[in-house]
Amino acid sequence: MASMKMRMVKAVMIIVVLGVLSELGSCKVVQFIFGDSLSDVGNNKKLQKSLATANLPWYGIDFGDGMPNGRFCNGRTVADIIGDHIGVPRAPAFLDPALNEEMILENGVNFASGGGGILNETGSYFIQKFCLYKQIELFKGTQELIRRKIGATKAAKFFEESNYVVALGSNDFINNYLQPVMGDSWKYTDSTFIDYLMETLESQLKLLHSLGARKLVVFGLGPMGCIPLQRVLSSSGGCQVRTNNLALSFNKASGKLVSDLSKSLPNATYQFGDAYDVVADVIANPNKYGFNNSDSPCCSFGSIRPALTCVPLSTLCADRSSYVFWDEYHPSDRANEMIAKEIIRKLGYLYTNSTSVGSPSPSPVEAPAKPTPEAPRKAPAPKATNTVPAKAPTKATPEAPSEAPSSDD
């Protein structure tokens, strides 16, 4: 009799424990992404006054239906590829009109904005963009929305178990400090400007931690002095040495900052993803990695540079997978894949329900391939009707008014 009672007690205890575990495991792990045009998946597409957009063909030619989707690339971003690798869903743009509480809980949110930077003043001539502080402000509004939906306790757990990506910094140099028209260019020296960036970034990362970010990756900068936009500033067409040195100094300082914060902040696992060396080697030795070109963009309008000249009248390279750069600023899908793999290798990410896909098809003039929902694919020539700007979001969160905010709001 006693043994039967004991078995019943154990059974009840097991049921209770399973119930608790079920409750604790009810939240899905998703990503919240903060970044610039290298991670933007459609926010700037909805900023009607922004001068930093990827709304026209040929952007997106190797992604989904081949039409512009807001990504500043022919295919996937680095964050897309890493997310596919670890098995988390691709986070939709914050300004996606379909975004609601259920979508946030299932997929997370991408706040990245082309032209955005660590500093509020960065990229001011783009008129509209989200700097990092603005992106964090929008994240706060997202949190309030989720708290109302599932309650404060579950919401806190959801945000603490989510993954966070912070990928900014290049615009703070390319579209701020290195521009003579910007105040920061004469206010700081190279070293004091990086100190200024680190002080600001430290405050921002601590703020994210206070909002629940426990698992966070900060992406380092690549050799930004070698992007086509910078090469044309050199009489020889070579890489800008000073610009590359600034990227290296930024990586050294931010890597140390991230490491220190991971040790000092409670329950924080903060990592630094650096792919500078492998990208520099790809640019210096493209044939070694299967590329044919590492100094000019696949999509450009003749030799008109420096400018964003990937437009419907642009000439595309014959084989997009053979080019390191898609346009004057941004890597191609295949280059992004190499960058992502290097970060995955360095951070020790394991495959978890991987949905990774191969590089895009090389030629835009061939017939469309059999479509796959998420993988890059061949695409027909874009139609003119797709160049019309999308309507403003019809359903906004508490922090996203129907008229998209500017960086200074």
**Is there a catalytic annotation at residue 209?**
no
Rounded CA Rg of the chain? 22
Position 176: which residue type? Answer: N
**Is there a catalytic annotation at residue 37?**
yes
Instruction: Give the position of tokens 């006693």.
Output: 2
314, 322, 330, 361: which is the annotated catalytic residue? Answer: 330
| Nearest alpha carbon to residue 140 among 403, 405, 407, 400 | 400
201-232 b/e (C-beta count within 10 Å ≥ 16 → b)? beebbebbbebbbbbbbbbbbbbbbbbbbbbb
36, 80, 327, 333: which is the annotated catalytic residue? Answer: 327
**Is there a catalytic annotation at residue 409?**
no
Say which residues have a Cβ less than 8 Å from residue 409's Cβ, sequence separation at least 6. Answer: 134
CA distance 169 to 258: 14
Instruction: Give the position of tokens 């990695």.
Output: 289
| Nearest alpha carbon to residue 146 among 136, 157, 137, 135 | 157
37, 170, 314, 332: which is the annotated catalytic residue? Answer: 37
Active site residues: 37, 327, 330
